[in-house]
Amino acid sequence: MNQLITPNKILFFLLISCLLVVATPLVLLAFYNHPSVVDDYCFAYTVMRFGVWQSQKFYYDGWTGRYFHNFIVHTSPIIWRSFGAYAVFPIMLLGLLWTGFFTLIHQVGQRVISTAGQVAIASGACFLFITQLRSIVEFFYWYTGMAGYSLASVLLLFLLSVFIAHDRQRTGWKSLLLVLEAILILCIIGSSETWMVVMLSFLGFWVLVSLIYRRTVPVPLILLLIWAGLCSYALVQAPGNAIRMGGNGLSQDFLFSAIEAVKFGSVYFRDQLLKSSILILSVLFLPVAYRLTDSRSPARSYFSIYWWLALGFYLGLLFVLTFLHFWAVGVPPVARLLNVVNLVWIVGWFYMLTVWVRVFRPQISNWSIVTGYQWPTVAIVAILLGWVSYQNANLRLTYDDLRSGRAKEYDQQMKERYQLMASSRSDTVAVPPLTVLPASLVLNDLSYQSGDLFNSCWAGYFYRKGVKLSAASVTSADAQPAPRQVTSQP
């Protein structure tokens, strides 16, 4: 007879609730979202002057070879005057993020994890990732950041799922999944140099594992590796890359970059480990890892590799991702790049946890915490998750921007600005500064100087020669413009 209430059912509703707690403010904030002063209007204004294709060529030759990123930002909704779309794409991104996690665990957990279990795991993973984001606004609401980093995060989850499905089918190069893999690789590598490194590292590691354990490299994998090399060449050989990377005297200093990467990573990943829910969710994942390493699991072979080989790749990739930003521009990784690092950190963490369970499976086969869920474990986990969620900075930020009314007031002031720009007869328009800058939605405001780059882009977009902030008195600390961000603009 089935029990009405079981630990598994309680955990299912607990993880779904965690996802709802973190997703609800993100969805509500999306309705107050607007194109960002930082970069968004500059890309749109460039298209207005030169057209879509010429604008992409201009950035490829003069600033960056990120061809997929360039395509996305030069076809943004504001080019078509669709401001309402900025309330839609953050919600779509959130849905795709959850779907990506679900698709991955669905492929890995076939026959050993129930559908309800897969839904719960995907919800927990999505919850963990969002609460660990370095910057909410740069992942969900800033269109330019989404084009270069966030979208590729989702595509990577889907690519891993397709790889597993293709490998399981044993259809080789004749499968249409190979075409899908090639398209995903093209888009991921074309998003940024960071994603190029992730993609090449992953494919290279897959080749190494195939040589060690299968004594051969499948033809599809060889084709994809060649394809990834061509995509990477198209990115790195762009003339604009040399221009963008040449502005910092500490760039391309190997010793400096290595030392700073180790110092930065030792603190950053320590905080990610101790100040998040990853350890708590790891306890819940132990029974999942136990099932994935069972002899009946179709995915068992993916975790049956030398633990030192998997750990070396994991730690090496995390080091390289932090090292490259120091090497390229001489400063610590920016928030949007750390959002990518966090995804690698989380996926790799639970992969390594599964590998360790496989290694010690004979010794822990009688441990109840590994073989199933017990009421004491569920109670402790529920309490700890509630406490960590209450303390989480991202949750506090999003809920506070909603509760305080800052997001709503920001939305209203932006709409008033649009009306002022449309109704003014002056070539140079003075607009009032924003009295609120909700940090979950906004990167920056316009400048008091009409010659500022972002001011010029805003003015040009609205068919004006110039725009600047008026000298209205500012009484709230929230009204002070945020520090300039490192942008993708020249």
Domain identity same for 115 and 213: yes
Which pLDDT value is given to residue 102? 98
What is the per-residue pLDDT for 146?
Answer: 95
Residues 397 and 411 occupy one common structural domain: no
219 and 336, same domain (yes or no): yes
Q: DSSP readout, 346-393?
A: HHHHHHHHHHHHHHTHHHHTT-HHHHS--HHHHHHHHHHHHHHHHH-H
Q: Specify the pLDDT at position 474.
A: 42
pLDDT at site 485: 40
Give the model's pLDDT for residue 115: 95
Q: Residues 105, 242: one domain?
A: yes
- Residue 455 structural domain: 406-479
Q: Say if CB 441 and CB 25 are below 8 A apart.
A: no
Asked if residue 95 and residue 211 are part of one domain, the reply reads yes
Q: How many CB atoms lie within 10 A of CB 148?
A: 29
CA dist., res. 92 & res. 72, Å (int): 15
Is 103 part of any domain?
yes
261 domain residue, yes or no: yes
Rounded to whole angstroms, the Cα distance separating 340 from 338 reads 5
Last residue within a domain, chosen from 373, 401, 429: 401
82: in domain: yes
Same domain, 333 and 446: no
Q: Give the pLDDT confidence score for residue 186 in this predicted structure.
A: 97
Q: Are residues 83 and 221 in the same domain?
A: yes
CA angle 245, 187, 233 (to 5 degrees): 50
Tell the residue number behind the tokens 């003075």, with chain if given: 430
Answer yes or no: is 279 within a domain: yes
- Residue 291 CA to residue 300 CA, distance in Å, equals 9
The burial of 255, by beta-carbon neighbours within 10 Å (0-12 exposed, 13-18 middle, 19 or more buried), is given as: exposed
Are 287 and 225 in the same domain? yes
Q: Which two tokens stand for residue 75?
A: 């076809």
| Total residue length of the chain | 490
Q: Which of 443, 444, 434 is nearest to 406 (CA)?
A: 434
Which residues are within 8 A (CB) of 185 and not within 5 positions of it... i.e. 6 or more apart? 159, 199, 224, 227, 228, 231
Report how many domains make up the chain. Answer: 2
Q: Does 449 lie in the same domain as 341?
A: no
Domain boundary among 341, 366, 401: 401
Alpha-carbon span 260 to 331, nearest angstrom: 9
Quick one: 295 and 429 in the same domain? Answer: no
Helix (H, G, I), strand (E, B) or coil at 58: helix
Are 193 and 234 part of one and the same domain? yes
Contact 421, 431 (CB under 8 A): yes
In a domain? residue 135: yes
pLDDT at res. 481: 41
CB distance 74 to 49 below 8 Å? no
pLDDT in tens, the chain (490 residues): 457 789 999 999 999 999 999 999 999 999 999 999 999 999 999 999 999 999 999 989 888 889 999 999 999 999 999 999 999 999 999 999 999 999 999 999 999 999 999 999 999 999 999 999 999 999 999 999 999 999 999 999 999 999 999 988 887 788 899 999 999 999 999 999 999 999 999 999 999 999 999 899 999 999 999 999 999 999 999 887 766 665 555 556 788 889 999 999 999 999 999 999 999 999 999 999 999 999 889 999 999 999 999 999 999 999 999 998 888 777 889 999 999 999 999 999 999 999 999 999 999 988 989 988 999 999 999 999 999 999 999 999 999 999 999 999 999 999 999 999 999 888 899 999 999 999 999 999 999 988 899 999 999 999 999 999 987 544 333 344 443 344 443 3
Same domain, 208 and 339: yes
Note whether 149 and 192 are within 8 A (CB).
yes
Q: Examine residue 21 and state whether it is found in any structural domain, yes or no.
A: yes
Answer whether residue 484 is part of any domain: no
Residue 1 maps to a domain: no
What number of other Cβ atoms are within 10 A of residue 112's Cβ?
18
Examine the fold and report which residue of 401, 429, 460 is the final residue of a domain before the chain moves on. 401
